[in-house]
Each structure stands twice: as C-alpha cells, then as structure tokens.
A and B are shown apart, each in its own frame.
Chain A
C-alpha cells in the first residue's frame, strides 16, 4: 500500500489540471448558495413576522439547525448524487479510453493500490467540497447561535454519504471506457439508491421493506441531518465503500487476466 499516496497525489494533480473539476465545484457552489440563502432568507422573514405580530412564544420553535442548516444539507446531499458521478466518471473510464490503464496494470502496482489511490483522490475532492459547503453554516455562526455539534453531524453525514456513492461510481467507471456512460450509470444508480426508501413503502412484504429501506441511502443520512449520529448509518456508508471498492478492484483485476 506504499504507492497509494503517490497515486492519490497524481490523481489530485490530474483532476486540477483540467477545468472539469473546477467547473463542477463552481456550479455546485452556485446552486448550493442559491438554495442556502433561499432557506436562510425564509427563516429571517419568519423571524420578522413573529416579532412584528408579537408572537414571542413562537421564538422557542425557531431553530436555525432544523429550519436552515438541515434543510439545506438535505438538498446538498441530493446535489451530491449528481455531482459525485461526474467527479468519478474519469477515474478508470478515461484511463481505459486513452489506454494508459495498460501502463498502470503492467507496473508493479497492485489493483488494490490503484483503486484505493484513485478513491482517496476523489475523497480529497469531496472533502474540499464539504469544507467549502461549511462556509454557509459558518456565516450563521457569525450572525447567530446555531448548535455546533448538530452542524458537525450534518457535515459528517454529507461527507459519509458522498464517500459511499463515490465508491459506487468508481466501480461503474471501472466497467466502461466511456466517461459519459460512467457518469450516466453512476447518476442513475445514485438516484435509485436515494429514492429506494419510497419504493419500500409500496411493497407489502415487511422483509422486503426492511431490506429496501436499509439499502436506500436517504434513510441513512436523514438521522445525521437531525443531529443523530448512528453507528448503523456510518457502518452502512463504510460497507457501501468496502463492497463497491472490492468490486471495483475485481473489475480492475479482470482487466489483467482477460
């Protein structure tokens, strides 16, 4: 595993040497900012109305974390379901399309090192995006008094969720030479996992419901948005990463012996 940092560093450099990652991050920040300030503005209007009408007892119900931060982060997670496949699409598909994967496969690097190195590079990108996202709640801390730990739970949840679907999208990228196919399939898979909860409700079998609800992603990031950090959810995202990275490694390994 000693080559992993070198691969990750190479991938990060490569990501920032083309405008794609910048454009994606820029678009994400624009949409996220638009949604966040919409939510914050709505909160301030509610606050003004409460004060204007003297409904001071309602002030006890006003909560920046639930009304602004958690709502916004719920939408950010949906944005991530679109953004992460685009960030991951080039991970393996580009190498396969250009043929540079041959160089990697014939080098002394193991498949695990290649997969983990590339995955860590994507995680670094995701960490950067989450850190930039943290600027929004930071503004609330400058002008208000939201709860710190609940906000940290929101950030942790957003990161864990994105890390989980990044592993899935890496696997998809390893299956194809086309970046567009990788992005589209990754996006469909991410969105399907996001809405699986709703599909669970329409089945009558309790076992199927439980399985679908567990497999779906939304039930695993919603508790975190409310400030409830559950081992089950962290394990879920960890397991998701482990399963898809091992499948990704199998896909990469198969390129050696096929």
Chain B
C-alpha cells in the first residue's frame, strides 16, 4: 500500500510543479502539490518503523555513506556548473567569427557608465533565440549590461507601456533602467552592428551638427525625394542634435557646433559667409561639403585654399546590365574605398551616387589627406558637361577626360595654424547620395554617418561591419543527388539491418 501511495504522491507533486512552471491556475497547482505532499508524508509515516530499522542497521550506515558521497559529487558538479556560468568562455568556430564581438564593441563596453545599460527584448516565445545569442555576448563581456526578455503577446500591458506595436521582435536599449519608451533606442535587427550603435547612442554625449541653409541646399526637414529628412532622423538616432544654420549677417558659426554640413548648394555663398566658414575651419572646426556638379556655389576657391580641387566634370561609368549589356551611366557605383577611419569598415559594401563630380587633393596641400571613395577603372571624368546638359550626350575624349579610378570624396586634416588646431574637412562630389531618395540605398547611410562621426572626432563610432557567415554552396547534379539519397535512405540502413540479421543468426546458432 505504501509504495502505491508514494508513487501517487510523486506523480501529483510532479504535475503540480509542472503546472507551477506552466502558469496553471493556482488552485490546481496548490491541490496537486498539497495532495502529493500529503500522500508522500502519509506513506513515509506508515513506513517510518521500517525506515528506522534500515537507517539504524549496517545497510543503513552503508546507504548513508553512499548518499553522502552522491550528494558530495552532486555538490561538486553544481559548483562546476555555477563557475562555468559565472566565467563564460566561448570559442567561435565560424570562419567569419560571427559570434565574436568586434574591438569597437569591446571598447564601447569598457566605457559604459556605472549606471549601466538595460536592454529589453520583446519577442514572441520561441523566436528570441537569435536575439538571445547576440545579447549573451554583451552580457558575458560586461556586468553593466542587463537584459530582459518579454513576450509581447503574454505581457500586452508591458508592450503597450513600451509602445511595442509590431509582432516582430524589437529590442529597446536604454541608459540606466528602462522605465518608459521615452529615451530608449529601438533595434529591430538583433545584430552586433545595430546593437552597438544603439548602446553608443545612449551613452555618448550629444553632438551638434549645423546644416547650412539659404543657398538651395537640401533641407533638413524636407521629406521629399531630394530632402535630408531621412538622414536627419538617422543622425538623431545616433545621438546628434541637428539644426539649420543661416550665416548671412550673423556672427558666424556658433561655438557649440561640432560640425557644419554644406549639402548641395546651388547658389553662391556670400563672401562673408565663406569667410566665416574659413575662420571656423582653420580654427579647428569640422566641415563637410557635398558639392554637386553642374552648379556653382562659390566654394571652389576656398576649397582650393583648403587643399581640395573640385573637378569641373561629370563622372560617367560603363556598367554591365543584365539584358542590355554594357551601358553608360552617370550614377557611379562605388565599391572601392581608401584607407581612412570613415571608410575602413565599408570594404565589400556598395555606395551609389547620382550625378557626381570628381574631387582630388591639391598637389600643394599640406596636412593629412585621404581619398575616401573611388570609382571603377571603366569610369571617366566627362569634361564636356555642356553636351550632357544640352543633349544628354557623353563620350570620352582621351585628351581632356581623365580615366578612372577617380576619387569621389576626399578627407583632409588641415595643418594646425596660429588660431589653433587644424580643422577636419570632407568633400564629396555629390550630395544626392545623402538625400532621401538615395540614402537608404547600398551603404550610403553608413558612408554619410561615418563621415559625420569622423568629423566630430568619434571615428571609433564609425560603422561596425555587419558580420555574415561565409557564403557556401554546393554543386551537385540531380543524378548524383538522387543516387546519394538512395544510398543514404535505403542502402545504408539496409546494410545495418543485414548485419542485424547476421547477428541474430550467429546468436541462434
């Protein structure tokens, strides 16, 4: 009778515990646990005399010895498990090191303030595996990163509090504890480059970027195709404060400017505005000039003084198309980048430009210079821009048109002058790549954001390369595939079964 009661009690207790973990009704869980405990206790009480005899005898002492040894071993095992969790050691056996954080991320984790970072991940149950594996890399490396996972379907009130509307996974990163959705940075793709970007957004100081206005530049709040509204949003996501700057008769570039952007002016700047920019740059400021071809902004002269030549040309590139073969295009596709903090993570990435001019470092320029983006060898700088404007005709003249590769963007650090440290200057022969229509294409956004990061002195915050597993493939004919499938599905199991028959026969004999 007692063994039956003990088994019944164990079953009730087991299902009570399962119900507890599965979130079953409290009364059901309670009834199971109480019923199980009562049956076990009753069974033990009925067997008490026998238990006392066993414990008190020789076999009891031997048994106690075994129990102690077993408990000791289990204790050691538990300690090993605890130590392995507390001191994570991982080996990444993938060729692309997709499970290894980049040095930039590790450096960032070192600089997390003591208040820490909290990361809330909202994923439907069972779909959070990828996010968990990436976030574990962060929590393993820094005790200041805390993560919590929630299923928005099971915690709708919490999801509403953090404004989680999508059923897709969303990760919120906040400096300190996440109380509300305000002040959090959202990440929709659980990848290192996105998460690190979000973390640095919440811990880095805000930087101020002014965008020059008043000369037909791309508008910061213009959400039409040729505006900069998308780029502005991304800059704000990266912890920048972005404002318009009208130099006009004002006192010049404000003191709180970390960088000034001149994006595609199509009217000339006034001499005093050029003088303000010159003062600002030579005084250690940072300036980005995105100068389109076929227009004059008056910046050509100052740029020459700053060591950059703007080509009076239009870049034409021969491109291969799927059905029409080689075609001439005025939308250069760049996949070659110079060695510079702004572009070193863009290897193998593609950036797209639209109506661009060449840019080069002046021969007599001192200070440090680097070409950022280079066109392919099948491109040239079309100097006859009038024919293009008039009749959309282009054709390379070997005498006047320079053959590619041609620089589309250059970066310069001006030498330190009397008025202080030398400024940082980036000149790009196109502004369209940063405008709403094009900025989301290829890696244009990364190029633009990296340029701004370098200008404000946060080059370590430049884009972290997205790690993908090495691509691999297999070439196998349908006959070979069918043969191997047949061998695997039928011949291999068949051979094992034949061996089974032989074993049976041998045993029978």
Contact = CB atoms under 8 A, between A and B. Distances in A.
Contact of B70 (A34, A152, A247): A247
Given A26-B496, A65-B472, A257-B59, A19 B89 contact: no
What is the predominant secondary structure among interface residues of chain B facing chain A? Answer: helix
Q: On chain B, which size bracket covers the interface?
A: 35 or more
Contacts of B492: 29, 33, 132, 135
A27 B493 CA distance: 7
B92 interface: yes
Interface string A223-237: 100111111100110
Interface string B496-507: 110111011011
Interface string B146-160: 001101001000000
B84 A41 contact: no
Given A47-B473, A62-B472, A239 B497 contact: no
Contact of B77 (A204, A206, A239): A239
Contact of B84 (A143, A149, A235, A243): A235
A176 interface: no
B489 interface: yes
B173 to A, nearest CB: 19
Contacts of A258: 59
B90 to A, nearest CB: 5
Contacts of A203: 21, 23
Nearest to A41: B481
B91 interface: yes
A26 B493 contact: yes
Interface string B456-490: 00000000000011111111100011001100110
Contacts of A132: 492
A25 B94 CA distance: 30
Interface stretch (B125-133, B217-225, B371-379): B125-133
A206 B70 contact: no
A64 B472 contact: yes
B63 interface: yes
Interface in B4-34: 18, 21-23
A107 interface: no
A227 B473 contact: no
A189 to B, nearest CB: 11
A146 interface: yes
B473 A145 contact: yes
Interface string A14-38: 0011110011011101100110110
B94 A147 contact: yes
Contacts of A34: 489
Contacts of B92: 227-229
A23 B500 contact: yes
B339 interface: no
Interface in B101-146: 125-126, 129, 133
A143 B480 contact: yes
A59 B489 CA distance: 29
A64 B474 contact: yes
B90 A229 contact: yes
Contacts of A201: 125-126, 149, 151
Nearest to B86: A232
Nearest to A218: B129
A109 interface: no
B381 to A, nearest CB: 28
B90 A231 contact: yes
Nearest to B54: A258
A140 interface: yes
Contact of B85 (A41, A60, A144, A232): A232
What is the predominant secondary structure among interface residues of chain A facing chain B? Answer: helix
B350 to A, nearest CB: 9
A252 B175 CA distance: 56
Contacts of A144: 472-476
A239 B474 contact: no
B474 A254 contact: no
A82 interface: no
Nearest to A16: B503
A250 B62 CA distance: 11
Interface centre among B85, B93, B470, B507 (most CB of A within 10 A): B93
A131 interface: no
A42 interface: no
Contacts of A60: 468, 471
Contacts of B78: 239
A235 B496 contact: no
B23 A202 contact: yes
A253 B66 contact: yes
A147 B503 CA distance: 38
A23 B475 CA distance: 33
A206 B148 contact: yes
A59 B303 CA distance: 43
Contact of B88 (A147, A231, A243): A231
A236 B471 contact: no
Interface in A89-131: none
A43 B475 CA distance: 11
B80 A238 contact: yes
B488 to A, nearest CB: 4
Nearest to B88: A232
A132 B62 CA distance: 44
Contact of A18 (B58, B95, B125, B503): B503
Contacts of B93: 147, 149-150, 152-153, 227-229
Interface in A36-57: 36-37, 40-41, 43-44, 47, 54
Given A44-B476, A64-B473, 19 more contacts: A29-B492, A37-B481, A41-B481, A60-B468, A143-B474, A144-B476, A201-B125, A201-B151, A212-B21, A226-B133, A227-B93, A228-B90, A228-B99, A229-B91, A229-B92, A230-B89, A242-B77, A250-B66, A257-B59
20 contacts: A19-B504, A25-B496, A26-B494, A26-B500, A59-B471, A62-B473, A64-B473, A143-B475, A145-B472, A149-B95, A201-B125, A201-B149, A204-B23, A214-B81, A231-B90, A239-B80, A242-B73, A242-B77, A253-B62, A254-B63
Interface of A: 16-19, 22-23, 25-27, 29-30, 33-34, 36-37, 40-41, 43-44, 47, 54, 59-66, 132, 135-136, 139-140, 143-147, 149-150, 152-153, 198-204, 206, 208, 212, 214, 222-223, 226-232, 235-236, 238-239, 242-243, 246-247, 249-250, 253-254, 256-258
The 3 A-B residue pairs with the shortest CB-CB distance, nearest first, are A144-B474, A22-B500, A257-B59
